[in-house]
Amino acid sequence: MEGPVIRRLIREASEALEAAGLKDPKVTLTKSVKFGLLTSTSSFEEARRTGVDPMERARSVLGQLRLPEGSLLEKVEAAPPGYINFHPSWGELARAVVSEVLAAPDAYFRVEDGPREVVVEHTSVNPNKALHIGHARNVCIGDTIARVMRKAGARVLVINYVDDSGVQMAELLLGFRLLGYPLEPREGMRFDEYCGDVVYVEVNRRAEADPEVERQRREIARRIEQRGTEEFEQARRVALMVLRDQLKTTSRLGATYDLLVRESDVVVTGLWAEAFRRMKEAGLVRFVEEGPKKGCWVVDLSGHPVLSKEGDEVLVKSDGATTYVARDIAFAMWKMGASETRLLFRRIELDGQTVTMSDVEGEDLGPFRSDLVVTVVDSRQRRPQEVVRYALERMGVKGRYVHYSYEPVALSRRSAELLGVKAEGEVVHMSGRRGLYFKAEEVLDKLKEVAARETRARRPDWSEEKVREVAEALAVGAFRYGMLRIESDRQIVFDLEESLRLEGDTGPYLQYSVVRARKILQKAREAGIGQIAPDRSPPAELSEHELQLVRELAVTPLVMEEVVRTLYIRSLVTHARNLAMRFNEFYERCPVIGSGEWEGFRLSLVGAYDRIESRLLELLGIPVLDEI
């Protein structure tokens, strides 16, 4: 199978250039249809090596270049100062693209040479609080990566790592066991909110003022890691109670998980013991005899070109408790399919949801392998994650381990004030220690409230149920797009009102463009107008807006290949928005129904747009609507 037409044309152009004398030619897309569809800058590269004028080299290549018979590329030209541009037969290209999309839209998203077995770990929020908007950015990124990889053809395993060990859980148990907080939150408050907003904040306040509270916190953290202790069992129970509420939020955002792995199982099943043994065998760890880290086991980072400057990393504290980096190394080894230790799992019910969760008394799901492991963790974990990667490398673990880093999320001043937070600056940051964090549910509820108000104004004839349904879809679309549209290495300043606009760089703008397309298709069906057969040609002359839309549809496979190769999901966001912009320009300037000889082709073009854009929205986790 030749695959989408854009790949075939790039291959034809590359082979023709190579046959004409260019070594390893590079063919890319032009910036504008006025320059054709494809271009090559290889004449510049040869000019740098040989000293020849790039324009002269481009002309000499053209003199030798021959396109294959029947190619959709009909003209090649040399353009100053040395580009080689390929112009297609736009009419034939339009027919080919529309026909391919209408016949098999999912083929435009397959990536044949991408990874086949992928593990994506995301969310992985400590089960001691409600998810805030920073956690939600993690969810949106990880879920989108998983959706893309599945659509590309990979088998994907999505994991949520439940950190029910360590200091974070010790703080909750300290609050419940020693400070007298009841396990039941006050009426109207979710348990995850209660733990994060009340218990966690108060324990930290007490610990700062009383060294004894800090000592008790460390002791509880140590006992949580010991199977059979009361602390171990209570930590698992409390973690499940918090997780139940957290999963309500992630489900609302459209995310799902294949496995939930408890950190306590990583410790008690022997997985950590195996990792520790293998690191010792690799000469990677050492016991510290003196100094500030006396009595600790540390990763020897003296051989690392960067981390060595910052000192070794503690794995086991002097009191015998493991650090989260230690547990992360063990878990990463398991995710890579390189562990002899098997985690056990069983199906459990969590507030009506059936989930597969690790359990010391569960069943063995069997071995697995992975070509790629993606761990979505915020930028504050760059050093620990690099320690993990380095440890895997030194232990001889094969495969690609990627730390997908992202920056935090803040709110604009007016958005914070909408949520009842008094703002001093234009950007409002969160602080968990002070109990100032913007819960994802809170932001989603406010987005839904604003969307519902605007929807009622536009659609006074709709039932309240339909208003709420559409408002929820708009809220989720606005939120997810807002979390994905900014590069992951930049902070997001989220603005609730701006994110809901039907015009501009927003999720609802994309949702509305699909609604427009579906309205046209619906009117055509009601008028008894069918789409043209795939072998029908479009009119001889296509407008610029039709050309731009066809081009944007055609390049979808290339965007997918780039995202799968680089994990740069903003490329997918940009493509979805560019495609929507091209369609809206087409919609405004190119009548469809009743347009005479153009009607059949334009109707098919609308159908092709609907098929591709709706799938792009699904990859981004943005709900697709028929009406707004």
User: Mean pLDDT over residues 573-590, rounded?
Assistant: 97
- Exposed, middle or buried, 103 (CB in 10 Å: 0-12/13-18/19+)? exposed
- Are the beta carbons of 562 and 568 closer than 8 angstroms? yes
Q: What is the pLDDT of residues 199-227, one digit of tens each?
A: 988 888 888 888 888 888 888 988 888 88
- pLDDT at residue number 247: 95
User: Mean pLDDT over residues 93-114, rounded?
Assistant: 94
350 falls in which pLDDT band (50, 70, 90)? confident
Q: Say whether pLDDT at 133 is over 80.
A: yes
Q: What is the pLDDT of residues 498-557, one digit of tens each?
A: 999 988 899 999 999 999 999 999 999 998 886 554 555 677 789 999 999 999 999 999
DSSP letter for each residue of 10-49: HHHHHHHHHHTT-SS--EEE-SSGGG-SEEE-HHHHHHHH
Which range is least confidently modeled, 4-13, 67-76, 119-128, 344-353?
A: 344-353
- In degrees and rounded to multiples of 5, residue 311 shows phi and psi of 95, 165
Q: CA gyration radius for the chain?
A: 28
Which range is least confidently modeled, 37-46, 216-225, 471-480?
A: 216-225
- pLDDT at residue number 1: 43
Question: Domain spans of the chain?
Answer: 5-88, 117-405, 410-499, 507-620
Q: Token pair of 391, please?
A: 């440890």
Q: What is the pLDDT of residues 144-200, one digit of tens each?
A: 999 999 999 999 999 999 988 878 899 999 999 888 899 999 888 999 999 998 998
Instruction: Find the distance separating the first CA and the last CA of the chain, reported in whole Å.
Output: 39
- Exposed, middle or buried, 186 (CB in 10 Å: 0-12/13-18/19+)? exposed
Give the C-alpha separation, 401 to 373, whole Å: 5
Q: Token pair of 561, please?
A: 């290949």
The structure's pTM equals: 0.94
Which amino acid, 462? W
Give the C-alpha separation, 122 to 146, whole Å: 10
| Preceding peptide of 81 cis, ω within 30° | yes
Q: Say whether pLDDT at 367 is over 90.
A: no
Percent residues over pLDDT 70 in the chain: 97
Q: What is the pLDDT of residues 412-431, one digit of tens each?
A: 999 988 888 887 788 888 86
**CATH: 3.90.1300.10, 3.30.450.90, 3.80.10.10, 3.30.1360.70. Which one for 5-88?**
3.30.1360.70
SS3 194: helix
Q: What is the pLDDT of residues 273-284, one digit of tens each?
A: 999 999 999 999
**CATH: 3.40.50.300, 3.40.50.620, 3.40.50.720, 3.30.70.270. Which one for 117-405?**
3.40.50.620
- pLDDT at residue number 566: 97
- pLDDT at residue number 293: 95
- CA angle at residue 246 from 244 to 247, to 5 degrees? 70
Q: Say whether pLDDT at 125 is over 80.
A: yes
- pLDDT at residue number 221: 86
Mean pLDDT rounded to a whole number for the chain: 92
Scanning the structure block, which residue is given the tokens 């969760």?
Answer: 357
CATH code 3.40.50.720 for 507-620: no
Percent residues over pLDDT 90 in the chain: 77
